[in-house]
């Protein structure tokens, strides 16, 4: 049996969906996609993430203390993504280097950690 990632869901406090839309669509550059009609308007915001999806949803206790849990996004040009974050005043945390995997960390407006990495080859050679 084979498993693949379908989507990542990130909880946000009521009233924070617009901040999520700003970060994920404008600062990160993801394409917003319409959610299913079964969801009430304003309850969720969905984005295309390559062949997968990223979902933001309202939750009353969404913002717990910062954690090291994170999702990792692979990009083709880490330098271009870094520049986008600079242009949108997103704080960047440098990550410990991994061979052939340059990367950085950012936090979205809700404290969720994102690792952004570029795969240039195998990390073990």
Q: Which whole-number Å values give the CA distances from 65 to 22, 54, 55, 82, 110, in the listed order?
A: 22, 21, 21, 25, 10
- 124 in a domain, yes or no? no
pLDDT of the residue at 66: 65
Whether 125 is in a domain gets the answer: no
Question: What pLDDT, in 10s, does the model give residues 4-48?
Answer: 788 998 888 889 999 999 999 999 999 999 998 888 888 999 999
- Residue 122 within any structural domain of the chain: no
Residue 1 lies in a domain: no
Residue 73 lies in a domain: yes
Domain count, the chain: 1
CATH number of the domain residue 14 falls in: 3.10.180.10
Per the structure, the complete domain to which residue 80 belongs is given by 7-117
| pTM of the predicted structure, to 2 decimals | 0.75
pLDDT value of position 63: 66
């Amino acid at each position: 049996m084979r498993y693949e990632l379908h989507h990542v869901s990130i909880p946000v406090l009521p009233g924070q969906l617009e901040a999520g839309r700003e970060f994920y669509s404008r600062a990160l550059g993801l394409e917003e996609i319409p959610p299913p009609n079964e969801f009430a308007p304003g309850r969720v915001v969905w984005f295309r993430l390559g062949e997968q999806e990223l979902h933001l949803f309202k939750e009353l206790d969404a913002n717990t203390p910062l954690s090291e849990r994170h999702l990792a996004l692979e990009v083709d040009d880490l330098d271009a993504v870094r520049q986008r974050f600079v242009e949108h005043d997103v704080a960047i945390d440098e990550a410990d280097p991994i061979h052939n995997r340059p990367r950085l960390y950012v936090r979205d407006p809700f404290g969720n950690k994102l690792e952004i990495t570029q795969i240039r080859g195998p990390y073990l050679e």
